[in-house]
């Protein structure tokens, strides 16, 4: 066992840790492996510190203290320098002793793959620019500049309600850390939200999964089609548009109640444009679709031109399976046509509360190539769609779930008749809002 190839040893220890709970028996076996020898210690570190569980303020501060202690110990052992692998360690002239054969990961910070702050319930205030920068610098030690990607295995950063992290702080963290593959940011500060488009453009070359959930309705202008070419999943969500009625703005939970109010974008329930605040808030969100499998743009003020930029005529998105455009009240039949022509393998499509789409969108969907692959469709609160269009949707070959909540033309009795037909359609929602 002492002469096992390093790759085999890593595979054995990884198999031992697969499916282990954070404090389960399997991780106890991995800790025992870390005490065998230097090679086993390096292999065990890859699993023990791969995804540290930061469920409390104490756990986060304990991680920082552990990394600082490990860095100080290695600095003392190497004589004050950062190089701890190989080289002489003293001795008389002609009898210089060599250090042990270097291990790939001798420092626990180099084993961390994910920083997950989503479990810090009630302790988000401890996550500040200073703490994050300090933590990332510890993970990168002793690498600097271009060497940081070879020393660190950090690939994922997930933050929820870290409202004390500022925009400049987030940019500094992105400069210190190696290129990330996964980024999740939910409930950030307004300053951090405004800095996100520039961050994606500058550091999004290796991003594969991005999830953004904002609290502020400020415009979001991100053209990441050229910078983020490896995206597999992209999700962005903004607060739902509030309804403006004769007595001001109603409660956000009643944003889309079926009344006679007008949305903030100036579009009424019947799809007519009343002017009003139209054009005040406008988003521009463009991402690369070559490798994209899931795209969710919820409650954003994007228009048909934004959809055309993501799905231009003649270019397809062959891997896209899930598209969610719920609450994008400015898109119309032209955007749906662009999606239908580019996404021939789509399995799930959400157009809920897209109040401008009409029966023309239904005609395009039923005639396009995706009609042979679409399994789930939501057109909830699309009040301009008629009963004959819904009947044509119910006849699609592979459609299993159809959400027609809030469409006045379809009654519960008629919906029950649609599901009773022969075909794959087994679930239809017609709950009135």
Question: What is the SS3 string spanning 416-428?
Answer: HHHHCCCCCCCEE
Q: What is the pLDDT of residue 376?
A: 94
Q: What is the pLDDT of residue 302?
A: 95
Are β-strands 243-245 and 262-263 bridged in parallel, bridged antiparallel, or unpaired? antiparallel
Per-residue pLDDT of the chain (433 residues; tens, 9 = 90+): 557 777 787 777 777 777 555 545 566 777 777 777 777 777 787 778 888 888 888 999 999 999 999 888 877 665 444 444 444 444 555 555 544 444 444 688 888 999 999 888 777 788 999 999 999 999 888 765 455 555 678 999 999 988 899 999 999 999 888 889 999 999 999 999 999 999 999 999 999 999 999 999 999 999 988 888 899 999 999 988 654 444 444 434 333 433 334 344 444 444 444 333 444 568 999 998 999 999 999 999 999 999 999 998 878 899 999 999 999 999 999 999 999 999 999 999 999 999 999 999 999 999 999 999 999 999 999 999 999 999 899 888 889 899 999 888 887 777 777 766 655 676 777 654 4
CB 276 within 8 A of CB 242: no
User: What are the residue ranges of helices labelled H in 187-232?
Assistant: 190-203
CB 189 within 8 A of CB 163: yes
CA distance 276 to 279: 9
Q: The whole model's pTM is what?
A: 0.80
CA angle 189/233/118 to nearest 5° reads 40
Q: What is the pLDDT of residue 325?
A: 96
CA distance 405 to 353: 10
Which tokens go with 398? 């592979």
Distances (CA, A) of 421 to 18, 374, 414, 427: 46, 18, 11, 12
Domains and their CATH numbers in the chain:
1-48 (no CATH), 217-429 (3.80.10)
Which tokens go with 352? 């809920």
CA distance 30 to 43: 9
Q: What is the pLDDT of residue 333?
A: 96
């Amino acid at each position: 066992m002492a002469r096992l190839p390093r790759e085999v040893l890593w595979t054995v220890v990884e198999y031992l840790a697969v499916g282990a709970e954070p404090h389960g028996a399997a991780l106890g076996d991995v800790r025992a492996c870390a005490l065998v020898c230097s090679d086993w210690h390096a292999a065990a570190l890859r699993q023990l510190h791969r995804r540290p569980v930061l469920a409390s303020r104490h756990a986060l501060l304990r991680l920082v203290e552990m990394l600082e202690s490990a860095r100080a110990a290695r600095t003392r052992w190497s004589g004050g320098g950062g190089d701890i692998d190989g080289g002489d360690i003293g001795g008389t002239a002609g009898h210089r002793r060599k250090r042990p054969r270097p291990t790939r990961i001798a420092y626990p910070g180099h084993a961390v793959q994910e920083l997950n702050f989503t479990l810090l319930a009630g302790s988000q205030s401890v996550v500040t620019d200073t703490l994050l920068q300090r933590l990332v610098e510890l993970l990168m030690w002793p690498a600097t500049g271009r060497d940081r990607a070879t020393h660190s295995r950090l690939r994922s950063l997930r933050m929820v309600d870290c409202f004390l992290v500022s925009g400049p702080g987030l940019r500094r963290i992105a400069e210190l850390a190696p290129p990330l593959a996964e980024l999740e940011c939910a409930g950030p500060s307004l300053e951090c939200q405004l800095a996100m488009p520039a961050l994606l453009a500058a550091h999004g070359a290796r991003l594969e999964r991005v999830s953004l959930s904002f609290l502020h309705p400020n415009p979001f202008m991100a053209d990441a089609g050229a910078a983020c070419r490896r995206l597999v999943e992209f999700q962005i969500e903004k607060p739902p548009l509030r309804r403006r009625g004769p007595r001001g703005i109603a409660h956000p939970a009643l944003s889309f109640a079926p009344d006679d109010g007008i949305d903030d974008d100036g579009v009424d329930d019947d799809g007519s444009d009343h002017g009003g605040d139209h054009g005040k808030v406008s988003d521009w969100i463009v991402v690369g679709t070559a490798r994209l499998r899931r795209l969710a743009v919820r409650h954003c003020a994007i228009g048909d031109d934004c959809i055309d930029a993501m799905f231009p005529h003649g270019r397809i998105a062959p891997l896209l399976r899930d598209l969610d455009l719920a609450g994008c009240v400015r898109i119309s039949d032209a955007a749906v046509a662009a999606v239908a022509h580019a996404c021939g393998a789509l399995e799930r499509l959400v157009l809920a509360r897209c109040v401008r789409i009409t029966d023309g969108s239904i005609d395009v969907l039923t005639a396009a190539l995706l009609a042979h692959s679409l399994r789930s469709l939501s057109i909830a609160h699309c009040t301009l769609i008629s009963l004959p269009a819904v009947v044509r949707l119910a006849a699609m070959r592979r459609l299993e779930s159809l959400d027609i909540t809030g469409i006045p033309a379809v009654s519960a009795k008629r919906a029950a008749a649609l599901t009773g037909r022969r075909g794959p359609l087994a679930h239809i929602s017609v709950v009135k809002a």
